[in-house]
Structure 1
Amino acid sequence: MKRKINSFSRKITNNPNLPAAHAMLYATGMRESDFCKAQIGIVSNWYEGNPCNMHLDILGKKIKLSVINQKNLIGFQFTTIGVSDGITMGTPGMRFSLPSRELIADSIETVVEAHHYDGVIAIPGCDKNMPGVMISLLRLNRPSIIVYGGSISSGFYNEKKLDIVSSFEALGEKNTCKISEEEYKNIIKNSCPGPGSCGGMYTANTMASALEAMGMSLPYSSSSPSTSENKKKECKIVSTFIQKLLERKVKPKDIVTKTSIENGVKLAMCLGGSTNLILHFLAIAKSANVHFTLKDFQKISNQVPLIGNLKPSGIFLMEDIHKIGGTPVIIKYLLNQGILSGDCLTVTGETLHENMKKIPNINFNQKIIYPLNNPIKKNGHIRILYGNLSPEGSVAKITGKEGIFFRGEANVFDSEEDANKAILNHKIQTGEVIVIRYVGPIGGPGMPEMLKPTSYIMGSGLGKNVALITDGRFSGGSHGFVVGHITPEAQSGGLIAFVRNGDFIKIDAENNLLTLEVEEEEIQKRKKEWIPPLLKVKKGYLYKYIKTVSPASEGCVTDQF
């Protein structure tokens, strides 16, 4: 070898005083000639219980074969956990979704550090997988590449394309007698036809697209469908690039800079991405030692237009981006238009600009991606709102279809379950602001994602007539006039804890304000009367999470100390 690329693993393989370690490595199938090779940890979030993840072991095996076919590499597969947001949505299990991001990061860091792997290829699928693996790769800071598991194919029923959100919205349609019980069941049965992450520009595809623009995955990774030939090809060629990164000693912190983070966020906002982007990129930036705050997101949102006609706010899916040339054609367009910076290093070993040289130009003879001179919305759909209800910030998802201003009377719920019952039982009135509280990172605990209430609102035909605010968070599939991540949260004594039925709340997405229209004297009176609710858990992982998690405005990280 011209340059040693096994700088970590040789601390075990070249140490003559570790006979037991060597014996165990021989037991794994290693030969003596393998002891001088760089060891690559191939980690996936594989598990059978979720379509987003059920195929990742197959991709992992293809990647391992690619790795061991390289002369100087050897690969070891391992897995980490995952939580299905779609399956746990609206149940107590959803409390574990966001906290699973930290477990994913911790577990990958643990295995790679303990076993002295020289590099990592990570294969995430579902929503929290992407930021979880990214956080760990930055902590480790060893040559690494992310291979996204890919998006699911669309379902089909009654001459209409379906996806996971179709099934949630169908319940609202059934309860308002817009569809029959039989139609309802057929929509559910046909929404998810096989493996892959949820098809719209929801959290998984948002993060995958952003990470590709940031340079941490190969071109096309985010838009190649889960079962496509493109995804198989990506698995086959990835070993070439991990070897190049090892030889050049290119590490994640060389790739993840403030400029590359801005690239990722800009692309995600242009495509109408999930509000979960905020939580995850705050955490990613912290792991990269990059100063990036809520104000940076608002600055970017003011700079970039919404050009992606993608679900949940639009009508198309990730498979449609694949059909028009994939994520790279959009990245190239935004580079050429000066939206993205092309000087950032990527996992190919080349810059983003160099990666795009052979990519074809986007053809605007389609309705999926709009040109910058005729955008869906002239600026970003994600707004950071402040005001007396959210002095430390909150996150709104405003595409323009909902309007940019809402004022209404509060209808207050201390749990998502109570709010869902009220929506389904037609107890929500036009013009109201639904308030769901005590569902933040501490109060939830775990800041559970809420797709049910927004889907029920849309399915019930109330999407343009009510608003919803919460100290919890929303699914990437949520749309409507919604504001989440309100900080401080109710459990910590934030003003949202003192809102009462009938109070007027004003949401101003033009001036980025979220205001409770109650006199200060009355607010102080309510504060004195308020008794903090008992924590919902007193043991186990969620209790540890409560004791260590930072506020939503800081990314809900657990290693902030």
Structure 2
Amino acid sequence: MNSEKITKGIAAAPQRALLHALGLTEEEINKPLIGIVSSYNEIVPGHMNLDKIVAAVKQGVAMAGGTPIVFPAIAVCDGIAMGHQGMKYSLVTRELIADSTEAMAIAHAFDALVMIPNCDKNVPGLLMAAARVNIPTIFVSGGPMLAGTVNGKKISYSTVSEAVSRYGAGEIDAATLCDYENKACPTCGSCSGMFTANSMNCLTEVLGMGLKGNGTIPAVYSERIRLAKQAGMKIMELVEKDIRPRDILTEGAFYNALTIDMALGCSTNSMLHLPAIAHECGIELNLDKANEISAKTPTLCHLAPVGDHFIEELNEAGGVYAVINEINKLGLLHTGLLTCTGKTVAENISGCRIKDTNIIKTIEEPYSKTGGIAVLKGNIAPDGCVVKRSAVAEEMLCHKGTARVFDCEEDALTAINSGSIMSGDVVVIRYEGPKGGPGMREMLNPTSAIMGRGLGSTVALITDGRFSGATRGAAIGHVSPEAADGGNIALIENGDIIEINIPECTIQVLLSEEELDKRRRKWQPRQPRITTGYLKRYAKSVSSGCKGAVLN
């Protein structure tokens, strides 16, 4: 066992002395040492219940003959960080989580890991760490929040974001806004729609790193505690069989994840995280394949913010396994792959049927014959950009409009809220990429403002930042190359005409190459707006190429 370097032999006596100082008995020291990576904290609603998950995992590990030892991982609440400087720190925590977990796992010679994440960057960060460390690992998330209810209608966090703009436009009064505020997030858990956290927890199931229900069993259900105990017991089986993350995280597993991503209508942030996780496995995930996969994969779910259904309903309708089994009828999946259950994908999904076709559609009658995400290319984004096409109104799938250009989120938000953005405009927000922001902020506030003012079917938004999983409308993000690297998005001027064609996967500013070259010669690099601390070092690492390939 890996832990024998600190538990066996005369030379390990000093290490054993420190293990005894932890209160560990000789019997515990001689069992496999299982690291329990706890993302518990008291500031993130999705993580406030993880102490209970940790306790249940510890019980499961102990029951199956291991010694559970807890250490922490950080997590940022994207919703609380939204709309201020804190959002610049959100995406970069993914690398901090991966780096620190790798350091803890290797420094303390654990035999296996149970990862307990729940939110947006915490899940992919721990998946990246699992791939790097490559000792037997299983995931069990904290689970999704239940939806809120106002006047008999289910609502979520994104409802409140849009309500702020509706209040500013005079569409609702202060009492109604207060009602949304108090009832949108009624329990602990990751926000209740198919936002980034729940997208990544569901995709963890698809990748084979989490047990059935990992992405969908609500945080407040006792079933979630039972799942945690099962994960604790299952890790001992993975140790015995020496099944490691890179045995599971194969190229086929990532293409399965991309396929089910399309079927579920996951967050566009999955297009950032899946390549980063694959990169840690030595696999270069070619996102040019995304449109090819989307063309073959129907959208089976319309979960919030796209529709009026929530993760709790997906769970009752059969969960992720039911979606996988339905898509498998098309022959698009690699079902012979090993998973953390010790069984193959095919064995896992056998008998998993759709229980409610109002929540999970069949392949014969899908919401859409194509997938929920599209990668667009053109002279604005030669290396690509991403849109959640399932969240775009039919009339906005093809759009030509006048550019309204802003060099930061705040300026754009001011313009939208003041009423100066008109029907037909294309809002361009740039210098918000990994390097230029720095930190690649989410643009939920501007898109919510557009939707709240009733412009969702007439105004598009393009950015080299990214979008929250809670975003809906013609929001096109992750534009690459970013403005700070001299990408063509930096060359767009107010009044330019932009043409978006989502069915054809194209995005263009209607300028000649000669005009773009003329503007490029005049372009001057801008300094990142954060000049001290970790973000300054992070921006430099992106500039040097250390992390930019993974992020962009």
2:480 corresponding residue in structure 1 = 487
Match of 2:550 among 535, 540, 555: 555
1:81 corresponding residue in structure 2 = 74
2:165 corresponding residue in structure 1 = 172
* Alignment partners' CA distance in 2, 1:524 and 1:552: 28
Q: Does 1:369 align with 2:366?
A: no
1:311 corresponding residue in structure 2 = 304
Counterpart residue type for residue 145 of structure 1: I
User: Structure 1, residues 152-198: CA drift from partner, whole Å, max 9, x if none?
Assistant: 01111222212110110101111122110111111111111121001
* Alignment partners' CA distance in 1, 2:57 and 2:186: 25
Q: Does 1:246 align with 2:215?
A: no
- Residue 524 of structure 1: how far off its partner (Å): 2.2
Counterpart residue type for residue 387 of structure 1: G
Deviates further, 427-436 or 535-544: 535-544
Q: Does 1:389 align with 2:380?
A: yes
Counterpart residue type for residue 385 of structure 2: S
Report the 3-state secondary structure (helix = DSSP H, G, I; strand = E; otherwise coil) of the residue aligned with 1:309: coil
Match of 1:430 among 423, 436, 448: 423
* Alignment partners' CA distance in 2, 1:414 and 1:222: 37
CA contact (8 A) 2:447 2:472 kept: yes
Counterpart residue type for residue 369 of structure 1: I
* Alignment partners' CA distance in 1, 2:121 and 2:352: 32
* Alignment partners' CA distance in 1, 2:388 and 2:549: 18
CA contact (8 A) 1:156 1:190 kept: yes
1:3 corresponding residue in structure 2 = none
Match of 2:535 among 532, 542, 559: 542
User: Structure 1, residues 341-395: CA drift from partner, whole Å, max 9, x if none?
Assistant: 22111001110111223x442134x421111112111111211111111111111
Deviates further, 29-38 or 107-116: 29-38
Report the 3-state secondary structure (helix = DSSP H, G, I; strand = E; otherwise coil) of the residue aligned with 1:145: strand
* Alignment partners' CA distance in 1, 2:202 and 2:413: 31
1:218 corresponding residue in structure 2 = 211
Correspondence 1:79-228 to 2 at 5 A: 79-228=72-221
Match of 2:369 among 363, 374, 378: 378
1:444 corresponding residue in structure 2 = 437
CA contact (8 A) 1:279 1:554 kept: no
Deviates further, 334-343 or 97-106: 334-343
1:4 corresponding residue in structure 2 = none
Correspondence 1:454-469 to 2 at 5 A: 454-469=447-462
Match of 1:20 among 11, 14, 18: 14
* Alignment partners' CA distance in 1, 2:549 and 2:346: 31
User: Structure 1, residues 247-304: CA drift from partner, whole Å, max 9, x if none?
Assistant: 1111000001111111112112101110000000110111111131221222211221
Q: Does 1:53 align with 2:53?
A: no
- Residue 513 of structure 1: how far off its partner (Å): 1.3
Deviates further, 152-161 or 128-137: 152-161
Report the 3-state secondary structure (helix = DSSP H, G, I; strand = E; otherwise coil) of the residue aligned with 1:395: strand
Counterpart residue type for residue 55 of structure 1: N
Match of 1:345 among 338, 341, 353: 338
1:401 corresponding residue in structure 2 = 393
- Residue 34 of structure 1: how far off its partner (Å): 1.9
Counterpart residue type for residue 240 of structure 1: M
Counterpart residue type for residue 359 of structure 2: I
Judged with a 3 Å threshold, the aligned counterparts in structure 2 of structure 1 residues 530 and 360 are, in CA distance, closer, same or farther, namely: closer
Deviates further, 492-501 or 17-26: 17-26
Counterpart residue type for residue 169 of structure 1: E
* Alignment partners' CA distance in 1, 2:252 and 2:278: 11
2:28 corresponding residue in structure 1 = 34
Count of aligned pairs:
548
Counterpart residue type for residue 522 of structure 1: E
* Alignment partners' CA distance in 2, 1:163 and 1:280: 24
The unaligned stretches of length 5 or more in structure 2 are none
* Alignment partners' CA distance in 2, 1:81 and 1:380: 33
CA contact (8 A) 2:436 2:527 kept: no
Judged with a 3 Å threshold, the aligned counterparts in structure 2 of structure 1 residues 551 and 165 are, in CA distance, closer, same or farther, namely: farther
* Alignment partners' CA distance in 2, 1:392 and 1:77: 42
Report the 3-state secondary structure (helix = DSSP H, G, I; strand = E; otherwise coil) of the residue aligned with 1:18: helix
- Residue 325 of structure 1: how far off its partner (Å): 2.6
* Alignment partners' CA distance in 1, 2:530 and 2:318: 48
CA contact (8 A) 1:278 1:555 kept: no
Counterpart residue type for residue 460 of structure 2: A
- Residue 551 of structure 1: how far off its partner (Å): 9.4
User: Structure 1, residues 182-215: CA drift from partner, whole Å, max 9, x if none?
Assistant: 1111111111112100111111111111110110
Counterpart residue type for residue 550 of structure 2: G
Deviates further, 258-267 or 426-435: 258-267
Counterpart residue type for residue 52 of structure 2: I
2:406 corresponding residue in structure 1 = 413
CA contact (8 A) 1:394 1:553 kept: no
Report the 3-state secondary structure (helix = DSSP H, G, I; strand = E; otherwise coil) of the residue aligned with 1:449: coil
CA contact (8 A) 1:98 1:448 kept: yes
User: Structure 1, residues 96-141: CA drift from partner, whole Å, max 9, x if none?
Assistant: 1110000000111000000000000001111111100000000001
The unaligned stretches of length 5 or more in structure 1 are 1-6
CA contact (8 A) 1:488 1:551 kept: no
Judged with a 3 Å threshold, the aligned counterparts in structure 2 of structure 1 residues 336 and 128 are, in CA distance, closer, same or farther, namely: same
CA contact (8 A) 1:142 1:251 kept: yes
Report the 3-state secondary structure (helix = DSSP H, G, I; strand = E; otherwise coil) of the residue aligned with 1:410: strand
1:8 corresponding residue in structure 2 = 2
Query: What root-mean-square deviation, in Å, do the aligned CA atoms of Structure 1 and Structure 2 show?
Result: 1.5
2:508 corresponding residue in structure 1 = 515
* Alignment partners' CA distance in 2, 1:15 and 1:537: 51
Counterpart residue type for residue 555 of structure 1: V
CA contact (8 A) 1:10 1:35 kept: no
* Alignment partners' CA distance in 1, 2:282 and 2:506: 30
Report the 3-state secondary structure (helix = DSSP H, G, I; strand = E; otherwise coil) of the residue aligned with 2:70: strand
CA contact (8 A) 1:210 1:268 kept: yes
* Alignment partners' CA distance in 1, 2:193 and 2:116: 20
- Residue 552 of structure 1: how far off its partner (Å): 9.1
2:226 corresponding residue in structure 1 = 233
CA contact (8 A) 1:436 1:469 kept: yes
Report the 3-state secondary structure (helix = DSSP H, G, I; strand = E; otherwise coil) of the residue aligned with 2:479: coil
